[in-house]
Amino acid sequence: MAQLPISREKALEILKSYNPEEFDMVHYLESEAVMREVAKLLGEDEDYFGMLGLLHDIDWTMTKSDVSTHLTKAPEILKRLGFEDDFIETILSHGYGFEELPHLKDKERTKKVEYALASSETITGLVYAYALMRGKKVSDMEAKGLKKKFKDKAFAAGCRRDVISEIEKTGLTLDQLFEAAIRGVTGIKEEIDLS
Ligand SMILES: [Fe+2]
């Protein structure tokens, strides 16, 4: 995998400079943590996968007032920071197929790293909602319980199960993703005010 043009510290500094909602910042950190765990399982570069997770919604704060423009500003921002085209395209790929994003809705994910990012960033919503339901506790969460929530379509209904299931296209199982997601989020629990 290609080298990263900026450090994690710099990436965090940039994200924070856009004044994200705390809830959004939590989502970025969780996505990073889950991507690092998924990278380990796939034998991929943890820093590269982690950076994809951390920055995947880099233009969210400035585009969320008009969701249809989400990911239209990301390429320019990332390019300016020195990221290569591959990295930028992977970031965009997590929006492929979404009706809400006219510029990306007709594209399809085809690469392992794309499936990994889309499923990892999406499962964070499920883990976080489940943790809140459990009194903000994640450290003793079990994959079995998370799987039940995954199957319960009414729970965190906006959390796209079909996208989470794309993890299977990387060769990993859903159970492996559930475990990786819990491990990842548990690893940063203090930072995101969980226990
Ligand atoms: Fe996201």
Domain boundaries, the chain: 8-187
Contacts for 133-141 with beta carbons within 8 Å, 24 or more apart?
136/193, 136/194, 136/195, 137/194, 137/195, 138/182, 138/185, 138/186, 138/189, 138/194, 138/195, 139/186, 139/189, 139/194, 139/195, 141/182, 141/186
Fold assignment, 8-187:
Hypothetical protein af1432 (1.10.3210)
- What's residue 168's pLDDT? 98
Distance 7 CA to ligand 1 centre (A): 20
Residues in the chain: 195
- How many whole angstroms from 148 Cα to the centroid of ligand 1? 22
CA of 56 to the centre of ligand 1 (A): 6
**Is the separation of the CB atoms in 55 and 17 below 8 Å?**
no
The residue among 62, 67, 180, 59 whose CA lies nearest residue 116 is 180
Distance 163 CA to ligand 1 centre (A): 12
Q: How far is CA 189 from CA 51, 55, 128, 192, in A?
A: 19, 19, 10, 5
What's the pLDDT at 1?
56
State in Å: Cα 91 to ligand 1 middle: 10
Under-50 pLDDT residues of the chain: none
CA 67 to centroid of ligand 1, rounded, Å? 12
pLDDT at 3: 86
